[in-house]
Amino acid sequence: MANKKYDKGSCRELMHLFVRERPMLEGEIVELSEIRDWFEINYSDITVGAVVAHVAMMTVNGQKRYHHVDPGDGLDDLFYRVDRGKYRLYVLGVDEEPPARN
């Protein structure tokens, strides 16, 4: 389903919609299961694999991020992994800068 558009945008754009609809306080943890559940409720045609891949792609300190091409617009710098399956919002200037990708 790469680049498939939904009524509110691509899967990448929908990750940002998730963050807007589920406001998080600074440092608040969100679990991968909650992100998957939100997509299942709101965009059930997006596969769990696509959701997991997009979370990995949008996690600045995630190892799997480097397998994805960097669009260069900074919109992929969304999450910071604190533990397995646990994330918080990435804080520019506080968290380590994301290394360059392919």
pLDDT tens, position by position, 79-93: 999 999 999 999 988
- 7 band by pLDDT with thresholds 50, 70 and 90: low
Count the neighbouring beta carbons within 10 Å of the beta carbon of residue 95: 14
pLDDT of 59: 92
Tens-digit pLDDT profile for residues 36-83: 999 999 999 999 999 999 999 999 988 777 666 666 667 788 999 999
Q: Please identify which residue in the block is written with the tokens 């900074």.
A: 74
Tokens of 5: 């558009």
Tell me the CB-side half-sphere exposure of residue 67, using CA atoms within 13 A: 7
